A and B are shown apart, each in its own frame.
Chain A
Amino acid sequence: MKNTVVNLLRSRELAVALVLVAVVVLTALKSESFVFSADGWRNLLVTPSMLMILAVGQAAVIITRNVDLSVGSVLGLTAYMTGRIFIEAPGIPIIVVVLAAIALGAVLGLVNGLVIAFAKVPALVITLGTLYIYRGVFLTWAGSDRINASDLPDEFLALGTRQIASVPVLSIAALAVLIAVGYYLYYSRGGREMYAIGSDPGAARLYGLPVTRRVISAFVLSGALAGLAGVVYAARYGTVSSGAGLGIELEAVGAAVIGGVAIFGGSGTVWGAAIGAALLVTINRALPVVGISDFWQRAVVGGLILAAIVLYRVLALRQERRLSIERDTRSLA
């Protein structure tokens, strides 16, 4: 009994990881340089890091039975701010800029959380609203202006390519975020309370858990990570136009769902979400290599999300059915 449950929980992350490995191996067979070249190796690791950071924040929000659709706009806004700061204050230490971006993201997340907690309107609607508002602020601020690589200091741009022991710095940053948030959600009281809240919000209130505070913190976390992702965007691409981060919020939600985070909250892990993000990004890069057209690339991503949802639903239904049969036979015995 215990083992089957544990295995079921584990298998979601494991299954997605296996699919990811299979994609990498199959693509590498077709084109060796996808993995076995300096560029290929670096891209394999560094490309998913931005979406991974977003997916980790998104997973924390979804676990509390909410969703944050504003992260794409937050990412764009913070990426642009990063560039602006370097232009306005040349020579400013990079770490200060990174912290400023995280702080701006956290504030925008706090706005989301406060409105959701106190207006008692579903997060889907509120963050859809702030998605447009934050994007509007960005467009007004930037106008037709854009940040170019030449505006950014070299050592900042070097972050996008620098490696430590052949692991890109940005991947290390994403991994650090993953470990920190994963640790919090798995080990701390606050993290467990987030799962409890998503599992049954009514019971959480009846139990006396600080529901409002935890939900707000989840949105602050998601916003802060979107801010960090904005810095990663600027460092990696070097240019920030008004289209930065457009539509990436849906990829973050998709990554979390593919990684086994239940869309109605209460279960799933940030590890799964991160692997889901890596799978999404890697498939997008692998399909052109094996010669699949643009149309099919998007269809494959969509199919992946549907397949994941159907699979988890079938597994859940099967488990529920089995448990209720077990219960009926036991109550008769």
Chain B
Amino acid sequence: MGELVREAVLVLEEVRKSFGATAALTSGGLTVEAGSIHALVGENGAGKSTLVKIVAGVHRRDGGVFRFQGDDVDFTSTADAKAAGIAVIYQEPTLFPDLSVAENIFMGRQPLKSGRRFDRAAMCEQAEALFQRLGVQLNPRRIARGLSIADQQIIEIAKAISLDAALLIMDEPTAALSGVEVDRLFAVARGLRDEGRALVFISHRFEEIFALCDTVTVMRDGAYVATQAIAETNRDEIVAQMVGRELGELFPKVPAQIGDTVLRVEGLHSTGEFHDVNFEVRAGEIVGIAGLVGAGRSEIARAVFGVDGYDSGSVHLGGEAIPKRDPRASIRAGMAFVPEDRRLQGLVADGSIARNIASVIRRGLASAGFLTSRSEIRAADGWAARLQVKTHALDMPATTMSGGNQQKVVLAKWLSTDPSLLIVDEPTRGIDVGTKAEVHRLLSDLAGQGMAIVMISSELAEVLGMADRVLVVCEGRITADLDREQATPEAVMRAATQTHQEAGE
């Protein structure tokens, strides 16, 4: 990084942040100069967004150095960060759906006229001017509800630009934009850079990083890896730094006998969520579903299982049609679904471990209509032992366990229904590395016994290491169906970040 003549705009060193028992950042670092566009890259879960939220004042760091424009700072709210001159475009748009587009941009600092009332006309004019600068057509008077993600993103950008900040952070601003819109955004970004502002650009699209940025910082597993000038590095080097470990080391995938088709999904479509989704999963096969956050992976899984409805299409399990919007029928037919957020959707956190494991097979356990703790514990015992759930007693509440053990309890709960198809959404999120390998071994064993498994994961290494086949979802469509041999990080990333224009070619 060398000697600096002047202090960089933003300096972060060895920043730490934990959420409960999960360490999101162990040693985050980033140094951004004025007049520079700085790329921040890393896999999903590498800690980029957490780092951004610390800079933005959403989270407070547990430790480490945070200097902005030469001063040590410690923001306690987003208003502090904003007042200091930091504008952030978040990954998920944060708009007020009931208010007009212009109001969303100028909330809290609307132009005022006499009588302390704000000047709607002036506000709309200024919004128009911003949109013109960005080269987009948007009516500033319409309400924000129902805008496409791309339009919402443009409003976020307009909002950040209008703040006139010294540091502008963009967390995947282009994820939903079309080619022309991206070009316009880049022109604006270069203009801001030439004015001497500092920009941080987070993206998964390498072509954009190489086209726009001058410096790149790589993060992995919550820690700083390297900072280099863009001119002195290349895509392969960055990918190697991002992934950083040999695939297969962590993930003991054992080849399994591939059998008959278990799940067949045809033409699944849900307006505004996903479109024309077709795929098959066979016995003994692990199919990984990759894609960016918000691409529609979980939505597809939820629709297949029947938690959510869909507009058209069909789902067959073992040749039998599965009715839509009926999870109980799916369970009866042999489907199991381990949801993404196990605390929210998978566990009765205050219930005992035995009750959790037995909850889906209650009907089979009840004698004369009554459930006893004894019968629950008896049924749960076998599975808990098989999965090595580490706990003192099965009648302890599930909240007292670690994340890894909670995940095992959720898995045990579903495995006790003896499913032919297991859908797991983010099976190892928030789990320590040792337990991760155990969960992976378990999934691999289950596939070896002939279970069909659909695994949704944002961790590229996990998908590539575990899956026999990788489906990539981008903006609600399956954009690639890759065999184990074809599935390279580049191929998956390319399919996950392509836009419709590219897909149509």
Contacts and interface: CB of A to CB of B under 8 A. Distances in A.
A266 interface: yes
Nearest to B148: A327
A27 to B, nearest CB: 35
A162 B78 CA distance: 52
B310 to A, nearest CB: 14
B374 interface: no
Contacts of B58: 206
B77 A204 contact: no
A8 to B, nearest CB: 9
Interface in B359-406: none
A324 B107 contact: no
Given A323-B146, A331-B500, A209 B107 contact: yes
A179 to B, nearest CB: 13
A188 B97 CA distance: 19
Q: A-side binding surface: helix, strand, loop or mixed? A: helix
A192 B112 CA distance: 13
A143 interface: no
Contacts of B112: 189
Contact of A5 (B94, B107, B142): B142
B141 interface: yes
Interface string B472-500: 00010000000000000000000000001
B499 to A, nearest CB: 10
Interface string A199-232: 1101111111110000000000000000000000
Interface stretch (B114-122, B224-232, B419-427, B432-440): B114-122
On chain B, which size bracket covers the interface? Answer: 35 or more
B20 interface: no
A266 B80 CA distance: 25
A326 to B, nearest CB: 8
A192 B118 contact: yes
Nearest to B119: A187
Contact of B96 (A183, A188, A204, A208): A204
Given A196-B107, A206-B58, A1 B79 contact: no
A155 to B, nearest CB: 34
Contacts of A327: 146-148, 272
Contacts of A156: none
A195 B99 contact: yes
Nearest to A210: B79
Contacts of A203: 94-96
B78 A323 contact: no
A202 B78 contact: no
A206 to B, nearest CB: 5
A300 interface: no
Interface string B132-165: 0000000101110111101000000000000000
Contacts of A120: none
Given A2-B139, A327-B146, A330-B148, A206 B78 contact: yes
Nearest to B96: A199
B288 to A, nearest CB: 26
A263 B103 CA distance: 22
A192 B103 contact: yes
Interface in A69-104: none
A199 B98 contact: yes
B429 interface: no
A200 B79 CA distance: 17
Contact of B145 (A1, A188, A198, A320): A320
A294 interface: no
Contacts of A189: 108-110, 112, 118
A124 B81 CA distance: 33
A193 B108 contact: yes
B97 A324 contact: no
Contact of B98 (A2, A186, A195): A195
B272 A188 contact: no
Most buried by B among A202, A203, A210, A325: A203
Nearest to A327: B148
B275 interface: yes
A326 B109 CA distance: 32
A188 B98 contact: no
Nearest to A316: B145
Nearest to A196: B96
A319 interface: yes
Contacts of A205: 78
Most buried by B among A209, A321, A331, A332: A331
B79 A267 contact: no
B82 interface: yes
Most buried by B among A2, A183, A189, A195: A189
Nearest to B81: A208
Interface string A299-333: 00000000000000000000111111111101110
Most buried by A among B98, B107, B108, B272: B98
Contacts of B96: 195-196, 199-200, 203-204, 266
B210 interface: no
B98 A267 contact: yes
Contact of B107 (A192, A321, A326, A330): A192
Given A208-B78, A319-B146, A330-B148, 7 more contacts: A187-B118, A207-B78, A207-B107, A209-B107, A266-B96, A323-B145, A328-B272
13 contacts: A2-B139, A2-B141, A6-B141, A192-B110, A193-B107, A196-B103, A196-B107, A198-B98, A200-B94, A209-B79, A266-B96, A323-B147, A328-B272
Top-4 shortest CB links A-B = A323-B146, A187-B117, A208-B79, A324-B272
